[in-house]
Structures are given as C-alpha cells and as structure tokens.
Structure 1
Amino acid sequence: MIEQHHIAAELIETICKNITENVPVNVALPRKGLLHIDKLLPFICVYRFKERDVYFSRLLKTQASYVIVDESIDISHLLEAIRLMTSEKFDTFLILELWPNEDSLRNQFQIYAPKNKSLETVNALSDGFSEIKKTLSNVSCKIIQTEFRHPKHLTSLLDINASKKSGTLIIGISIPVVYKNTYTNKLFTLFFRKFYTIFSETIKRAVYEFIRVQTTDAFENYLMLGKTHIDEVTLSSDAKLAEISEGMSFLLRVTPVNSNEEWDKFEQNQFKTVPSFKYRLLAIDPELEKRKLYNIPLDLIEDPTIAFILRGKRLEIEKQLIMLEERGTDNFRFIGESLYGVIREDVLATAEHILKVYPQTENIKSSKRLNGVEFAAYAQREMNHYVELFPDLDLGIEIRDDVAGIMVSKSKLLINIEMDLDANRCDALIQHEIGTHILTYCNGKSQPLKQMYEGFEGYDQLQEGLAVIAEYLVGGLTVNRLRLLAGRVIAVQSMVDNASFIETFDMLRETYSFSERTAYYITMRVFRGGGLTKDAVYLAGLIDLMAYLKNGGKLEPLYTGKFNVTHIKLIEELLYRKVLKEPILPRFLDRNDVKLRLQKLREGITIVELVN
C-alpha cells in the first residue's frame, strides 16, 4: 500500500478561486507534479506516476485540463473541488485516467469503461486511437467494460458508487508505449509528433461526445475544448522565428538593385545580351542565423497545431537562408523548387488557357489618368477607414521615387511619384493593396502569434489569390492583369525546362504578345538570384481560392492574417478555440455588386470569366 500525502487545503482554495475568476491555472504540485486548467471545462486528464515518463507527460499537456502527479499524492479532494467548481455550469464531470503500458500488450490501447454507458465517448476514443494503425499496423484497440478503471497497483481515484451519485464518470485508458524504444528509452521523434497529434484530437473528440450527450451546455465544435491561452515557450519561439524571418528580408535580398539600368542596356543591345543583375550585400551570416533557428525549442511546444505551424515556418526560413548562401548558382533554383514546389499541371494548363482566350494585351484608352499624388489621395480615403479601426498601428501612405509602381511594406502603402494609372483601375488596386495586404497585416498584428502578420510558410500564394479576387469583386480585374499572372507561370516553366533568359524573354514577346518591357520584368523576376519559381504560386493561389469558395469555404477567416490555403483548417481551429480573434473584414464586402460577384464565385465561374 502506497503511503498517501495530501494537497494543502490552502492550495486547493487558491486553485478554486482562479477557476471561478476564469484565470488559467498552472500550479506546481508536491513531488514534481503539475496541474493545468486553461478554462472552465467539465473534464480532466489524470496521470499518476511512480517515475515520471516525460514523453507520456507531453501527451497530457496537449489538453486544456490535466493533472500530472506523483502516485503518493492523494488528489481525491482536489478532483472533488474542481468538480464542484464546474458543476455550477455543467451537469456532469469526466475524469480520464491515463497511464503508459509497457507490458506484453504494449501494442494495444485499452479503454476501461462502464458497461453500456457513454458509448459515444468510448467509441470516439476507440475510433481515434485506431488512426495510429495507418502508421503502425500492429496497433490495436480494446474496450473493456469494468468497474476497475485505474492502474493495477493503485487504488481508484474516486469510489465508483460515490462518483455515480455526484455525476462523475471515470474512464481509464492504458496507452501503449509504441513511440519509444523501451530498451534504450530513445524517442521515435517523427512518429511521436504524429502520435501526440492523434492523441490530442482523440481526447478532445471523446470529451466533446461526452458533453454533447451528458450536459446541457453544448459546445459548437470539439475544437473549442482545446487550449485558449498560449504559454511562454510558444510565445518566445514564435517571436524568435519572426525576428529571424524579418531580419533576413529574403525577397529584398534576391531582387536586383539595378533592374531599371539593365533594362536600358538590354534595350540598347536589341535584347541580345543577358542582363547582369546586382544584389544587395548580405547583412547577416546565414550560418549563424541557422544556428539561432535550431536553438528555438519547438520540441517543447505543447500545442500540436501551433507546433506544426512553427515547424513549417522554420523549414521555410532554413531553406531561404540556404538560398541566400547559394544566390547566383544553380543550387538557388533547386532549393527554391523544394520550397515553392514544381508547377502543378492544372496551373500550367490554366495559364495556357488564359493566354489562348486572351492572346493580346488589351489597350485601354481611358479618358482619365492618375499620377502618384492623385492616386494617393484616393487611397488615403480608404486608409483613413482602417486608421480608425486600428488606432495603435502606424498606417500610412508614402510617395517615393525609389519604388516600382505600388507596393506594400507592412503597414505602409508605397507609391512611385511618377506612376501613371488608368483611373478605372484605381479602386481595384486600392482593394488589392489596402483592403487585402494591409488589412491582413493589421489583423495579424492584433493576434497573439507574430507569424500571423509575418506570414506562415508559403503565405504569398493565398495572399495574392485573395488580392486578385478583391480586384474581381470590386469590378476592376482586367485582361492584362490576368495575362500577367499566366505569363509568370509560363516563364517559370520555361526556366525549369532550362531555357535561357533571352529564350524566355523572346517566347513571352513573340508567342504570347507581351510588350518588350513587360516581358523583361516577368523574365527578370523569374531568373533573379539564379532562378526563382515563386512567381508561379500567384496563379495557383487564385485557382485554389476559387475552388475553396466554390466548395462552400468561408471567405471571412482568410482575413485573419497571412497564411496559405493549406493552413485554413488550422486557422479555423484556432478561431474556434479563441486563441485567435475574429478578423475585421474589408468594407468593400458590404457593397451590393460585390455580393453578387461573390455569389458567382460560389456558383463556380471559370477563371477567364473573372475579367470585368
């Protein structure tokens, strides 16, 4: 019999006070124990240890409510106090006691549950754990109906009969330790990431079924049972990644500083001499940045969703740092292909289709043209709207002579003083730059994670797709704009097929009727640094976004920050969990003509029908 020690009444009182006041509980218990309660929830996961398994502890830490405690500590009073705190809001309380199983049945999940009760909860556990089979085929799951729902060498957390009267359900779960070598104690790291992601989701789904059936306080979605508050390790890791990404200024470092001068020479040489591009000197040491990158303890992040997002960003930064080292070589292009992907068949086919339907550049003779100062005056009206909504951010417009056309830098709209713009394109460009790029930056700035404004891995793809859709929605998407996106894809494919700079330029000019200057700038962007396939993702983003909207996807979450199409479900999860705040939406969505065009997108118009 294990001698039992009790938790001090004063500590239990403090814990209950925090729960009542909706303050996250993160309390150290005697003998290296830990209690965590993110918010008021009708369940808790319990792990009683003799010698604490650090990896098993990490499984429980994926949940919003858990206690990890030395088996000599009596936590029955603590559990009853927590149950009483939650009983004011919820009718019943669920205790999931989990323990690692290293015996002869180590490949089997065993779920110890009452007979013919809470079948939805038990089945959700069984179905969830069975997902492990897809990676490890010899894993099985067994449901055992019994009143014995705790490790063999311990006593029950609560008396089963007493727990029935108080509306408390106890389910025991024996977890097979398949995620490490039990002889050497070495972790199968990559498999463990998948294992704890499945574990995290399975517990939440099971608890959701329990709440849905047993209590009156229905949660809209099982994801709402996840953590709301972000711990210091996660916030610190996120901040360090953002700092490295920002300091790298990748696109600035791979964009020529002499593209205008080289155009003049290229034209004078009758387009026969390959331009000689120069780049900014690197103000960072990529090797030192990579060392900093891998000193960030992403393995300590308890939230599987955020860990996945930050790992993806770390991989992108690492590849971009290698590309900076390889700038001007063939390796630059090959690493870029692994980062931005090769051109999808559907994207190439769409680009060719666009250029077939619209074989010529459209010459629009507008009755009115705008210079940089005039365009800035129109843009300022839109900017003023967001200045009121985001008073803490430094939003502004700058008219300069060192930028090409129009571009966004964080919260600033930069306009070339000499620009000459068709007035009919004014609204479309404003909604592209301010209503999309600046607004998503501002919404991202309002979130707790810095990646929301710095940008997730591959965020350009959705950002540009969303910005082009904004042009269509306000009635300003032109043939020339669509042709430009298609031309970039064709140029990337040409480079990947080992065509030269001049061959690619000639093809754009002669086969696809782009003007000499436009063909030059498309080719320059694609061949910069040694070959950058990134320009193909803009059309891919538009295609994916149109498919997403046609399939019933919601437009609103896409304005939460800067991320890719592949992250939408993760963003929706973080919104459900209230980790992220609901975004402020662009005001052009309130226009009646915009609502009609959005409905057309949902009905599934083709890409060539986007031209207004």
Structure 2
Amino acid sequence: MHDDERERIIAVSELLHSAAAQLRVISALDWPAEARERFLACDGAELPEVEYEAFDPEPIVEIVREARRRIYPGLRVDNWLEEQAAVIERSALMLAGVGTERFYAHNRLIYGTPTEPLRYDPSTPLDLANRVHEVLVELRALDLDVNSVPDRSAEDVAARLQSAVREHFGDAAPEIVLVDELSAKARASSTKIRLRRSARFTDLDAAQLLNHEAFVHVATALNGQAQPHIRLLGDSHPGITRTQEGLAVFAELMSGTSDLDRLRRLADRVVAIQMCIDGADFIELYRWFLDRSPSREQAFESARRVIRGGPITGGAPFCKDVSYLFGLLEVSSFVRAAFVMGRSDLVPLLFVGKLDVGAIGALAELSFEGLVVPPLFLPPWVADPRSMLAFLTWSTFMAVTDSEALTESLRRVLADLPSLASA
C-alpha cells in the first residue's frame, strides 16, 4: 500500500471518528426517574409522559459527506469505510427522529427487526426467541431445579468485579460505580462499569458481568482507543452493536457463566419488540413483562428498553435488543468457520476495537499493512483457547451428524424409566 493511500484511509477514518464521537444514543434515550415513579404510583394505569431533547443531525451529516468524497467504493477497506459512513449518518437521523415513527424507520435498518432473516440463513431472531421459549417450557416440565435466586446486592457484585478487573486490566482497569438510574443492570465504557444500585443479582451474575461487560465491552473499547491509526475502532456507534453484543453473549457461553434465565430474558426482549411493532403500547408491554419479572420496577425497565425513543403509544420500538441473538449466531458462526478453515489467526481481530463481524476482511488487510495493531486485552478463553477449541470441535461434529434417530430411540427408553426426583 502506497503512503498516499495509507494517509487517505487514515484521514477518512479520522473524519468518521469525529462524527461517531458525537453520537450518544443510549443517554439520548434516557427517561427521568420521575416517569417510573409516577407510572408505578398509579399502578400502571396511565401512559408515562416522556420528552426527548432535540437532536440536530446536520453537523454529523456534513462530516460524513466530507468523508465520502474521499472513499473509493469497490476496494475492501473502502467498502468498510462506506458502510461505517452510512450507519453513522443513519444513526444521526435516527436521533433526530426521537419520539416519532421516524426513529423506528431508521433504527430498524441499523439493528434489524425480529422477523428479518439472518445473514446467510433464513432463520429470524423471532424464530430463535420462540424456540428458546419452547425449550424452556420443555425443561420446566422436567421440574429441574435450575432457577437462580437474585439474592446478591449491587454492592456485593461491585466488590467482586473491582477485584477481578484490576487483576485483568492492571492500571487500565475500569472503575465499578453504583448508579440510581440505568435501563439495564449494568453498562460499560472504557473507564467505568455502572451497576444499577437497586438491582439484585444471582450467584452467576458477577462472573457473567465480568465476561460480558469487562472482558468484551471494556476490552474492545480500550483496544480500539489504543489504535494509533484507525481511531474509528474506538467508537461505540450503533453499527457495531450486533457484533459487540453477540460477542459478549458468546463470551458468557464460552466462560460457562450464562444460564437459562439469561437466555429467556434475551428471547423475551425480541418477542416484546415484535409486540410493539404490532401495536402494543407501553402499558401492554409493562403488563407482559410483569408476569415475567421479579418486581414491578424490573418490568418497567424491561418495557422501557423496548419502547424508548419511539412513540409511547407503540408501533415503533427501539430494536437494539434484537442484536443479541442476531449477533450471537453471527459471532459463533464466524469463530467456528475460522477454526474449520484453519484461520484461528483471525479470531483476535474481533477484539481490536468496536467493529462489526463483516469488517474482518478489511481489518485483516489493515492489520497486514500495520494500520491496525493487535489487541492489548483478550478474554481468557481467547488467550488460552483450549476449551473453546474443544467446544467448537464438538459443535462442528454435531452440525454434520444426524442424531435425530438416536435421540428418538433414547427418548423411548427414558420414557419408561421411573422418576428419581423424589427418591
């Protein structure tokens, strides 16, 4: 790659970096605490009243316009830069439409919808969510004692996390902070992991948060910010959400810190987004979550995640939470394909910064040219991939094995055996 080409790519990346840095999507969609207090005080009888601050997209659109003048579509790296330009511009237009159906018109194209097929596969997130629910019903029929009790306080979890992140990140370790208002139980940046003070956690949650928030979200943020040339990789704009959340959930599975309740919550969010698309308003979503939540407060937060940014009357949800199942399948498929093809050298590229899995080809070229440097921080299951290799080998074997006949045969045998549950 010639020096002038390197300079052009770096310049385009800098422009897009300056545009993406102005996007603060989640904070722009926050609700005041009073909205929850008033709603719960009237026992969920009246729709919350929420106003969003106006957002002017033009400064971002103008920067993107300038970046596009320097992009030459057709080249792999340029195609990636054009994709980044498009999603950054659309994200700005999305924020300009908060509180209206325009918000949904843009965010559905960024995050996907429950009924949108996966890349290279006709399955949809809604199909996956419904299948998760079906499996959970089957497991409940077995009366297995696998429910996790949320008996840990945020203070307890914070103490465990702080010790673990110091050990992994050293001087770069994020601070663990307790906050009063947060739509999720936790949210991470490169410098802080915030925990909702009122949240209760299970015995698995601390380890799950460590692998999800710290070993993925914090690590990719720090790795991206450490990139000396392509600083765009340090920006958490909506276009990278699917892969980042999918990678974080994949990390939970690889580390053995996920559980059935976690998978149910991910599936619930996909179903709720589809309910909102079909017309459910905030009250209907709240009542649906109320039957599936440990408290009224948690049901409120779950409904808020779905409808924030769009009209409170429904029909135009925030589709971000579709990304988790979407991304999980894409990331796991990429990792498995990389090992099957003998290209395990590409897996660490998932951690060089904030990126979409579709960018791997461009990032491989940029890495070869020295414009992208290796990640500073990797999760344990990537740094020492032995257990992941065993899992991927087994899953690859199962993917090409027809085990239905064996399963059916064993099902008939097991059906005739006495129950030992009460023995």
TM-score normalised to the size of structure 2?
A: 0.77
1:592 offset after TM fit, Å?
Answer: 6.1
Give the direction of change, closer, same or farther, for the CA distance of 1:453–1:468 in structure 2 (3 Å limit): same
State whether structure 2 residue 320 is matched by structure 1 residue 534.
yes
Instruction: Measure, in 1, the Cα distance between the counterparts of 2:385 and 2:240.
Output: 27
Distance 1:440 1:598, change over 3 A: farther
CA contact 1:255–1:525 (8 Å) conserved in 2: no
**Structure 1 residue 382 corresponds to structure 2 residue 164:** yes
After superposition, the C-alpha distances for 1:142-184 in whole angstroms (9 at most, x for unaligned) are: xxxxxxxxxxxxxxxxxxxxxxxxxxxxxxxxxxxxxxxxxxx
Q: How many residue pairs are counted as aligned between the two chains?
A: 369
Query: What displacement does 1:467 show?
Result: 0.8
Partner amino acid, structure 1, of 2:103:
F
Q: Trace 1:15-94 onto structure 2 (pairs within 5 A).
A: 37=2
SS at match of 1:414: strand
The C-alpha deviation readout for 1:296-343, integer Å capped at 9, x for no partner, is: 354256993332222222212222222222211112111222332333
The equivalent residue for 2:378 is: 585
Change in 2 beyond 3 A, CA 1:582/1:316: same
The equivalent of 1:339 in structure 2 is 110
- Post-superposition CA distance 1:549-571 (Å, at most 9, x none): 34345433211222112222322
Residue in structure 2 matched with residue 414 of structure 1 by the alignment: 194
Tell me what 1:278 maps to: 51
Show the counterpart of 1:576: 368
Please name the residue that 1:558 is paired with. Answer: 350
Question: Distance between the aligned counterparts of 1:328 and 1:288, measured in 2?
Answer: 21
CA contact (8 A) 2:152 2:202 kept: yes
Aligned match of 1:86: none
1:288-367 pair list within 5 angstroms: 288-296=59-67, 298-299=69-70, 304-343=75-114, 344-345=116-117, 346=123, 347-359=125-137, 363-365=147-149
Change (3 A) 1:433 1:261: same
Match in the other structure for 1:371: 153
Rounded Cα–Cα distance in structure 2 between residues aligned with 1:320 and 1:424: 34
1:439 Cα offset (Å): 0.9
CA contact (8 A) 1:348 1:489 kept: yes
Secondary structure of the 2:308 match is helix
Instruction: Give the distance between the partners of 1:265 and 1:457, measured in 2 at CA.
Output: 31
- What is the one-letter code of the residue matched to 1:564? D
CA-atom RMSD in angstroms: 3.1
Deviation readout 1:418-452 (Å, 9 max, x if unpaired): 54322332222101111111111122122221121
Q: Is the 8 A contact 2:230 2:371 kept in 1?
A: no
420 and 356 in structure 1: CA distance in 2 versus 1, 3 angstrom threshold: same
Per-residue CA distance 1:361-402 (angstroms, 9 max, x = gap)? 974247xx54334323322333224434xx6xx542142334
Q: Which amino acid aligns with 1:547?
A: S
Residue 266 of structure 1: aligned partner: 39
Amino acid at match of 1:452: L
Aligned residue identity for 2:353: G
> 1:302 and 1:499 mapped to 2: Cα distance?
41
- Kindly indicate whether residue 282 of structure 2 is the aligned counterpart of residue 501 of structure 1: yes
Cα gap change, 1:319 to 1:417, in 2 (>3 Å): same
Q: Which has the higher strand share?
A: 1
The alignment-based identity, stated in percent, is: 23
Rounded Cα–Cα distance in structure 1 between residues aligned with 2:162 and 2:260: 27
Partner letter of residue 264 of structure 1? Answer: E
Q: Which residue of 2 aligns with 1:431?
A: 211
The structure showing larger relative contact order (alpha-carbon pairs under 8 Å, at least 6 residues apart) is 2
Structure with larger Rg:
1
Query: Structure 1 288/558 Cα, relative in aligned 2: closer, same or farther at 3 Å?
Result: closer
Residue 131 of structure 1 corresponds to none
1:114-163 deviation line (CA, Å, top 9, x unaligned)? xxxxxxxxxxxxxxxxxxxxxxxxxxxxxxxxxxxxxxxxxxxxxxxxxx
1:76 corresponds to: none
User: Aligned match of 2:13 in 218, 238, 241?
Assistant: 238
Residue 406 of structure 1 contacts residue 413 of structure 1 at CA under 8 Å; is this kept in 2?
A: yes
- In 2, the alpha carbon distance for the partners of 1:300 and 1:551 equals 30
* Correspondence 1:141-160 to 2 at 5 A: none
Distance 1:398 1:552 in 2: 34
User: Does the C-alpha gap of structure 1 residues 577 and 471 become closer, same or farther in structure 2, counting only changes over 3 Å?
Assistant: same
Which of the residues 477, 485, 507 maps onto 2:258?
477
For 1:573 and 1:472, how far apart are their aligned partners in 2? 30
Distance 1:323 1:297, change over 3 A: closer
Higher mean displacement: 543-552 or 405-414: 543-552
Alpha-carbon distance between aligned partners in 1 of 2:220 and 2:385, rounded to the nearest angstrom:
20
2: CA distance, partners of 1:371 / 1:604: 40
Match of 2:175 among 384, 394, 397: 397
Amino acid at match of 2:211: Q
Please, which moves more after superposition, 444-453 or 353-362? 353-362
Shift of the 265–599 alpha-carbon distance from structure 1 to 2, 3 Å rule, reads farther
Separation in 2 of the partners of 1:335 and 1:591?
38
**Residues of 1 paired with 2:175 and 2:240: CA distance?**
24
Partner of residue 172, structure 1: none
Q: Is the 8 A contact 2:188 2:217 kept in 1?
A: yes
In the TM superposition, residue 502 of structure 1 has moved relative to its aligned partner by 2.6
Amino acid at match of 1:255: D
* In 2: Cα distance, 1:298 partner to 1:574 partner: 21
Residue matched to 2:29: 254
Offset at residue 415 of structure 1 (A)? 3.0
Which one is further off, 265-274 or 331-340? 265-274
Counterpart-to-counterpart distance in 2, 1:459 and 1:425 = 24
Matches of 1:563 and 1:604, distance apart in 2? 30
Once structures 1 and 2 are overlaid, which stretch shifts more, 261-270 or 305-314? 261-270
Alignment partner of 1:234: what SS? helix
Distance 1:293 1:491 in 2: 34
Which of 462, 472, 493 aligns to 2:243? It is: 462
